[in-house]
Amino acid sequence: MTAPAIAIEVEGLTKSFDGRQVVRNLSMTVKRGTIYGFLGPNGSGKTTTIRMLCGLLTPDSGRGTCLGYDIRTEADKIKLHVGYMTQRFSLYQDLSVRENLEFIARLYGIPNARTAAERMIARLGLEGRGEQIAGSLSGGWKQRLALGACTLPKPQLLLLDEPTAGVDPKARREFWAQIHTLAAEGLTVLVSTHYMDEAERCHEIAYIAYGDLLAHGTVDEVIAGSGLVTFTVSSRGDNGGLAQLGHALEAAPGVDMVAPFGTSLHVCGRDRAALEAAIASYRSDASLVFEPAEPTLEDVFIDLMTRAKDNFQ
């Protein structure tokens, strides 16, 4: 039987804890082989959503399937196909790379555990490090080993919780290259993250705030759907003036958000005419350069979060 093209399809998922709704009426579809990122403020319901999507937590209401199984009644079957990599290194620090992988292979009853471990070492680019004690690996290598361990049993769905927190950019890039290779082979990956660069590496993203799914789609779709108009402002002189300008613009009607980015400011608003009116008097200042720009993903998320908070309070 060929695997279905849709990995997850859920409708109207709702969950409350202690009488408080933490996920509200959530519907979504995840295609097989997709890397799907979940973003949103702390405590917004990302983990609860991910756990419901793969049957680890039963919703109060709503329905759906994960890997073709019912999330309410066939959770045990789903679990057999799920790999979970947590933020904290959860392998044996005192065992070598090879011993850790071999142990996992035996635990899952994988035939020829030693060969399977060695193949995984090669696949992860960890050749020459097989006998190194796991605890002495750098953060990036540890994450790669953890990825190897949780993909050894060949899961169809992988859950990653901020997988590259604290890992340097080169190791991050290599880790994500591995994730993309796995996804190209058909593995579906759900990632919860607070990092914009991780979000930008996902095929699709969902932004959840205070229990509501506020935006989803590819990064470009989420940016285009934000309705945010953005200008960058840089200074021909010293940058000190920009901070003052930022404060003045923040208070101006029509400006929803001002954020410094390196040597420039991002000034965003939802109403183009009002935003242009707000910056009009500053545009004649020859020491400032105003340019229309695409909002960044961070601009969009901060705007979504601010509005969600306003609606919530």
Ligand X SMILES: Nc1ncnc2c1ncn2[C@@H]1O[C@H](COP(=O)(O)OP(=O)(O)OP(=O)(O)O)[C@@H](O)[C@H]1O
Question: Of the two residues 84 and 103, which places its CB atom closer to ligand X in the complex?
Answer: 84
Q: Tell me the closest approach of the beta carbon of residue 211 to ligand X, in angstroms.
A: 8
- Footprint on this chain of ligand X (rule: CB under 6 A): 17-18, 22, 40, 42-48
Question: Of the two residues 60 and 291, which places its CB atom closer to ligand X in the complex?
Answer: 60
Question: Of the two residues 17 and 261, which places its CB atom closer to ligand X in the complex?
Answer: 17
Provide the residue type at 132 as one letter.
Answer: Q
Question: Of the two residues 48 and 188, which places its CB atom closer to ligand X in the complex?
Answer: 48
Q: What is the secondary structure of 78-131 as a DSSP string?
A: HHTTEEEE-SS--S-TTSBHHHHHHHHHHHTT-SSHHHHHHHHHHHTT-TT-TT
In which element (H, E) is residue 37 found?
A: strand 35-39
Q: Tell me the closest approach of the beta carbon of residue 161 to ligand X, in angstroms.
A: 8
Q: Tell me the closest approach of the beta carbon of residue 192 to ligand X, in angstroms.
A: 6
78: which residues sit within 8 A by CB, 6+ positions away? 54, 55, 66, 67, 69, 71, 157
Q: Tell me the closest approach of the beta carbon of residue 209 to ligand X, in angstroms.
A: 9
d(CA 293, CA 233): 10
Q: Tell me the closest approach of the beta carbon of residue 144 to ligand X, in angstroms.
A: 23
d(CA 41, CA 35): 20
Question: Of the two residues 82 and 242, which places its CB atom closer to ligand X in the complex?
Answer: 82
Q: Tell me the closest approach of the beta carbon of residue 3 to ligand X, in angstroms.
A: 28
Question: Of the two residues 6 and 57, which places its CB atom closer to ligand X in the complex?
Answer: 57
Give the closest residue to 253 by CA, choosing from 275, 268, 235.
275
Nearest 5°: phi and psi at 266? Answer: -100, 125
3-state secondary structure of 295: coil
Q: Tell me the closest approach of the beta carbon of residue 269 to ligand X, in angstroms.
A: 28
3-state secondary structure of 246: helix
d(CA 42, CA 210): 9
Question: Of the two residues 36 and 141, which places its CB atom closer to ligand X in the complex?
Answer: 36
Question: Of the two residues 42 and 284, which places its CB atom closer to ligand X in the complex?
Answer: 42
Instruction: Give, rounded to a whole angstrom, the gap between the first and last alpha carbons of the chain.
Output: 50
Q: What is the 3-state secondary structure (H, E, C) of 187-238?
A: CEEEEECCCHHHHHCCCEEEEEECCEEEEEECHHHHHHCCCCEEEEEEECCC
Q: Tell me the closest approach of the beta carbon of residue 123 to ligand X, in angstroms.
A: 30
Measured between alpha carbons, how far is residue 89 from residues 102, 197, 265 in Å? 17, 21, 38
